[in-house]
Structure 1
């Protein structure tokens, strides 16, 4: 399974392409590709976002579902989803409505 991630061009915020067809600041509702056709569709969306100067550093990343939550498999992506590791009062993990991705 894969999801699409990028950084928003205006402020550098890590974002994920969501099931409501927008770039969201949390990983929770990311659109999941479970086959090659889904991956190609997400890649096309990422290329369009890049071409429209909405996002940069567009990537498909591997994820797994753990108790119904989307979890990145790589540590780098877990950190991007949760926030900086040196201060729990900053970044995404400081927001009360955000689930912990790491």
Structure 2
């Protein structure tokens, strides 16, 4: 029996900067998961993924990631996506550097 389709977002890595990015409903890309288009239809998810894969000058490694819809935007269902959302963990860089700067 096939598995029920679960909500997803299209995610990839920015080709030039390496940051995790998410496809938005307006065909753009954002570094903020809250801006990502949450996809609830399997056929639509495949079309959105194909759209991402046709942008090799912008993204690398595009795939569909499982998410839970929430008022604050999509929420990861797997620790890998939570880890990718927060950025590198070995030193203050990228997203973590920005967060550290806003605390001080």
TM-score, length-scaled by structure 2: 0.76
Q: Is the 8 A contact 2:33 2:74 kept in 1?
A: yes
| TM-align CA RMSD | 1.8
Residue in structure 1 matching 2:98, options 92, 95, 98: 95
Q: Please, which of 27, 31, 38 is the counterpart of residue 33 of structure 2?
A: 27
User: Which runs of no fewer than 5 residues in structure 1 stay unpaired?
Assistant: 97-102
Segments of 5+ residues of structure 2 without an aligned counterpart are: 1-6, 100-104
CA contact (8 A) 1:82 1:91 kept: no
Bigger Rg, which one: 2
Do the aligned partners of residues 93 and 66 (structure 1) sit closer, same or farther apart at CA in structure 2, a change above 3 Å counting? Answer: farther
Structure 1 ranges of 4+ moved more than 4 A: none
Q: For this pair of structures, how many residues does the alignment match? A: 93
Name the one with the larger helix percent.
2
Distance 1:75 1:2, change over 3 A: same
Q: Residue in 1 aligned with 2:20?
A: 14
